[in-house]
Structures are given as C-alpha cells and as structure tokens.
Amino acid sequence: QVQVRESGGGVVQAGESLTLSCTVSGVIFGDVNMGWFRQSQGKEREGVACIDWDGRIDTYAPSVEGRFTISRDNAKNTVYLQMNDLKPEDTAMYYCVPVAFIGVRGLSVPDTDAWGQGTQVTVSL
C-alpha cells in the first residue's frame, strides 16, 4: 500500500520561497513517476508538476512554469517541490502522489487512494 507524507509548507510573504518534501513508502520509488498537486479552498484539485521515474523529464502547469522546480532523490524515496517567487494565488494545500504518466498527462489528477494529508502553503501580500 502506497503511503505518502508531505512536509515543508508554511506561511510566507509574496516573493519568498519554500521547498516541499514528500516521502513515499510501500512502492519501489525508483520505478514510479511522481506528481505534485494542489487544492485551494473552493476549487478543484489541480496538477502542479510531475517528474519521471529517474528525474530526467519534468513538466509544469503554466501557472508555475519558471517559478517551481520538481526534483527527486531515489535513494531517499523523496520528491521535492522548490517554489520561488510565491504569489498569493499559490495558496493551497499541496499533495504528492505517484502518477501513471509523464508530460502533460501527468498533471491530470489521478484516481487514486494514495493521497496523503498534504501540506498547507499560505502566501500573503
């Protein structure tokens, strides 16, 4: 059974940075693609970034392209999301899960029961 644990969220001001971490268990981490997703209050969950199993191919939602960077350390079973130049519209609960696809398809919210508790990111003006 796949389990994920997100961490690293917090309250920051616009323009600041945060790095989220997600540790994964219950799966051979080096075999799976990973995605970061977020959900703002009153909105549907959306894809933010995804990365292939060996970290060579990454894809971003247009709203975060150039500001966010996804990476992974397969030795630590961990995927990261470096978020720079944060904006109030980035305020959301952030989640990570394994995804079946890479590229734009990897940004589609998967039908999975592997969702964790998420980590809250709040960006103030």
pLDDT at 66 (0 to 100) = 98
CA 110, distance to chain mean position in Å, is 13
The token pair that represents 116 in the structure block: 């964790």
Mean pLDDT of the region 19-33: 97
Residue 36 CA to residue 86 CA, distance in Å, equals 16
Residue-wise pLDDT tens digits, 42-59? 999 999 999 999 999 999
pLDDT at 80 (0 to 100) = 98
Contacts of 43 (CB under 8 A, 6+ apart): none
pLDDT, averaged across the chain: 97
Banded model confidence at residue 88, pLDDT cuts 50, 70, 90: very high
